[in-house]
Amino acid sequence: MIERTLSIVKPDGVAKNLIGEVVRRFEAAGLKVVALKMVRLDRGEAEGFYHVHRERPFFASLVAFMSSGPIVPMVLEGEDAIARVRTVMGSTDPAKAGAGTIRKDFASSIEKNIVHGSDGPATASFEIGYFFSALEIPPR
């Protein structure tokens, strides 16, 4: 099924000059970038994006990290896009990520893991809407 999902190049990925490399890997995997921008979240905006994790012990640190510098959210479209993006990213923890994945190759920790990808259709819908208005995304 053709899906859309949200990915983000996180502040560590932007700082390490990996925007192009992340986009290249997604495109090489058959995904199409249908929207993309650079933004900087404030604390409240980062808290809102990760609200499902608000009870986790790492929440405050995650919010501080995600609001520490510019990020590049993008909407990716393609066959099974949600799972495909997660395959290209690799496991959340880079120590557990497979060879050739973005996180294995570039992430420095389970928190500073370069890239985010939606984990399911409902999350993708919420996350796309968090960063992009209807006017910024081409109709399907």
CA distances from 17 to 12, 20, 128 (A): 9, 8, 23
User: Distance (Å, rounded) from C-alpha 129 to C-alpha 110?
Assistant: 26
Question: Least distance (Å) from ligand CMP to the CB of residue 92?
Answer: 5
Among 23, 63, 116, 132, binds ligand CMP (CB under 6 A): 116
The verdict on 113 binding ligand CMP (CB under 6 A) reads: yes
Binding letters toward ligand CMP, positions 69-108, x by CB under 6 A: -----------------------x----------------
The verdict on 62 binding ligand CMP (CB under 6 A) reads: yes
Question: Least distance (Å) from ligand CMP to the CB of residue 93?
Answer: 7
User: Distance (Å, rounded) from C-alpha 61 to C-alpha 83?
Assistant: 27
Q: In what order do the strands lie in the sheet with 32-36?
A: 32-36, 72-79, 2-9, 115-117
Catalytic residue annotation: 116
Among 58, 95, 108, 120, binds ligand CMP (CB under 6 A): 58
